[in-house]
Amino acid sequence: MVASPAAIAELTAAAGAAPPASPPAGLELLPGGARQAPWPRLREELQIHPAGVNVDGSPVWHLSDPVRNLFYRIGWLEFEILTRWEMGDPARIAAAVAEDTTLQPIDEDVLQFAAFLRHNQLVQETRPKPPVRFAHWLLHNYLSIRIPLVRPAKVLQRALPWLQWLFSGWFFGLTAAAASIGLVLSARQWDAVMANLHGALSWDGIVGYLGALIFSKLLHECGHALVATRNGVRVGHMGVALLVLWPMAYTDTGESWKLERSRRRLAIASAGILTELMLAAWSTFFWVFAPEGNFKNALFFLATTAWVLTLTVNASPFMRFDGYFILADALDFPGLHERAGHWGKRFMRKRLMGIEDPVAEVLPRHYQRFLTAFAIATWIYRLILFFGIALVVYHKFFKALGLFLFMVEISVFIVRPVRSEMRVWWARRAEIRRGHLAGWLLILVGGAAVLAVPWSTRIVAPGVLRAGVEQPVYSPYAARLDKVDIRNGAAVGDEQVLLELDAPRQAEERDKASALAQAYARSARGAVGIDDSGAARQMLADQYAGRYEAERRAREAELLRLKLAALHGGTVRDVDPTLQPGSWVSATTRIAMLVGGDHWRVEALVRERDRQRLAKGEPARVYVRGRYDAPLAGCIVDIDDSAATRLPHLLLAQPNGGPIPLNPTVPKDQLKPADTWYRVIVEGRSDRPVEQVEAVSVHFQGERSSIGGKWLDSALSVLIQQSGT
C-alpha cells in the first residue's frame, strides 16, 4: 500500500474519523494569548507504506521521502495523526484520535510530531536552507564521501534469470561441502599455509592481496545488488565511497525499506557477506588441489582476503556495515544504533547521576537490557576505532598536518559526544541526586589528589642481566686446535688452561731463529784470534746471534699465548659446536664464553624524566622475566649522561619480543631505539651465578613525582617531537 497526502482523506474515512476541516488561515491564539504559526501542509510527494508490526505487536508504517530517498518508521499514533492532519488543529486531532481509537494522545503529542516533520523537512515550508561553507562540509564529511559511478538496474534485471541457480538449495549444499573439505585439508597442510602467508609479505604479495581485495569487494556489492533485484528492490546506483580517503565499493539498496517482511530485507543485508564466504569456500577448495603457480597464489589471496576481512570487518554490528543491518533486520528493529543509544544514555544517567529519563518506547525487559548492553559495547568499539582512525590519519600525512587531523578526529568523534552529554548533565543538574553528586565529587577530589600529589617513588625499567665477570675465549691469531677438552657447563678454576692451540708456522720460525742464533754464537766464538779482522767478525756475529735470540723469544712468547687460560673461576658456556681437533680458528672466532662468580651486572634503560630522579648508590631490585623466585638486590653504580644510541642487547628490541621499539628509519641490526633512553648500570652479588643473558625488569626507588606530571611531560614531549618543530 502506498499513500500520498492527497489520499489522506480516504485513509481517514477508512479509519472512521470525522471529515477533515480546512486548515486555519493566518495565526491562531493559544491559551494564554500566545500565537501559533500556521499549520504546515505535508509535502505532496510523500508516501506511506505498511511495515509490519513492532516488538510489542503494534502496527508500523514507513513514511518515505522519494525526493531524498529517505524513509521514516512511524508507529500507530503517528499514522493516526497523519490521517487527520488536514484538521489543522492539534487539539482537534488529538481528540479525534482518542475518540476513534484506544489511543489517548494529548495536544503536546501532536505538536511534537509536527516538530519532527518540520525538522526532517517533510512539510511545505519556504524556510531557506542556511549556507554551508566548503571547509565545514569537508571537515565533517571527509571520513565518508560517496561517488556514484553506474546505474545497474537494467543489467541486473537481464542477468537475474541466468543466475537463479546461485539461489538454489543444491548450490548452497555444494558450497558448504566445498568449504568443509577445503578447511579440513588446509588445516592438515598448515605448514604450507604459513609458508604462503610469509611469502605474501613482499611487494608481489601486497599487489596480490590488493587485487584479491578489489575482486572480492566487487563480488560483495554485486551480491547485494542481485539479491535486492530478486526481491523487487531497485538498485539506484553503485559506486565508490571514500572512507578516510580509502576507496571502498558500495551499492545503493536504500529502497529495501519498501519490503514489508523483514526476512527479505535481511536477505539483502546478508547477501554481501554470503557472497564473500562462498568465494572463500570455493577458493579454499580449489587452492588445496591446484598445482603450484600463479593460479594457486591467486586462489590463496582470494581465500584469505575473503575469510579474514568478511568476518572481522563486514560482520561487525557496531558500525553501519553489513553486520549492523543484518542484526537490525534479524530483530526487525530499524534504527538500532539510535534507539539503543537512548537506552544506553538512560542507563548511564540513572546509574551515574541519578537522573530519571522517561521511557522512550515500551519494550520487553530483555529487549531493554540487550539494547543497553549493545549501546555500551558500541561506544567502547567506536572509541577504539575512532582513536585508531586518528592514528592512521596522523601517520598518513606529514607531521604537522597529521597532528592537526589527529586532534580534529579526537575532538569531533570522541570529545564532542562526551561534551554534548556533559551539557545535558549540566542543564539537568537540579535533577541529580545528592548522594550521586557527593560520590562523584569525592571521586573527582580523590582522582585529582592521585594525579597531582607527588607520592610515587617507583621507577620500573627494562634491562638485561649478565654475569658480572665475562671472559670471551678467542685465539690471539690464526691457529690450529690440538684438542678440545672444554664443554658447556664445565666448571674451571682460576688460571686453569682451557685450550691449547698450535701454530706450525710460528714454531718453524721459532726453531729457525733458535738455530740461527746458535750458529752465529758459534761463529762469534770461532772468530776470536784469527787475525786483525777477528774482532769485527765477532762483534757482527754477536749482533746477529742476539737478534735471532730475541726473535726466538718473541716466537716462543707468541706460542705461549696459544695456551688459553681462565682469568677467574667460573662456568664454560656457548662452546662453538663446529670446532673439532685439527680445526683452524681465526682471531675473530669466539670459541667459548667463561662466566662465573657471584657478581652480576644489569644494563637498564630509563626515560629522561626518570633519569633525573635517580642517583648513584641508590638500591635496586631486579626481577628476571619468567622466574618467580626472590628478586636480586643491587645498587646503581653508574648513570649515563648521554642518551643511548644502541640497545644493550637484542632481547630489549621490540621485534625480538622486547619492550622497546626501534627507530624505523634505521636498519634493525643497528638496534637504535625510537625514543630517548638513558642507560643505568646496576651491580650486585647473589648466591647463584648468572649463567646466561636474560631480560629483566628493574625496580628503582627515585625521588617522588606525580602521575599527572609524568603524563603531562610525556604528552608535551610527544607533541614537540612529532609536530616537527
* Three-state SS annotation for 171-188: HHHHHHHHHHHHHHHHHH
What per-residue confidence (pLDDT) applies to 174?
92
Question: In the block, which residue shows the cell 594457486?
Answer: 296
Mean pLDDT of the chain: 77
> Would you say residue 130 has pLDDT above 70?
no
- Lowest average pLDDT, out of 1-5, 231-235, 373-377, goes to 1-5
> Would you say residue 19 has pLDDT above 70?
no
The pLDDT tens digits for 433-466 are 777 777 777 877 777 776 666 666 788 889 988 8
Q: How confident is the model at residue 722 (pLDDT cuts 50, 70, 90)?
A: low
Higher-pLDDT residue of 534 and 312 is: 312
Collapsed DSSP state (helix, strand, coil) of residue 654: helix
What per-residue confidence (pLDDT) applies to 36?
54
Q: Tell me the C-alpha distance between 593 and 256, whole Å.
A: 74
At 300, the amino acid letter reads F
- Lowest average pLDDT, out of 29-38, 41-50, 64-73, 277-286, goes to 29-38
What per-residue confidence (pLDDT) applies to 396?
59
Average pLDDT over residues 58-86: 85
Contacts for 177-186: CB closer than 8 Å, 24+ residues apart: 178/281, 178/282, 178/284, 178/285, 179/277, 179/280, 179/281, 179/284, 179/285, 181/285, 181/288, 182/281, 182/282, 182/284, 182/285, 182/286, 182/287, 182/288, 182/303, 183/284, 185/288, 186/284, 186/287, 186/288
Higher-pLDDT residue of 91 and 548 is: 91
Q: How confident is the model at residue 296 (pLDDT cuts 50, 70, 90)?
A: confident
Higher-pLDDT residue of 342 and 208 is: 342
Read off the pTM: 0.56
Higher-pLDDT residue of 716 and 632 is: 632
What per-residue confidence (pLDDT) applies to 370?
92
What per-residue confidence (pLDDT) applies to 545?
75
> Would you say residue 702 has pLDDT above 80?
no
Average pLDDT over residues 464-473: 76
> Would you say residue 531 has pLDDT above 70?
no
> Would you say residue 147 has pLDDT above 70?
yes
Higher-pLDDT residue of 130 and 620 is: 620
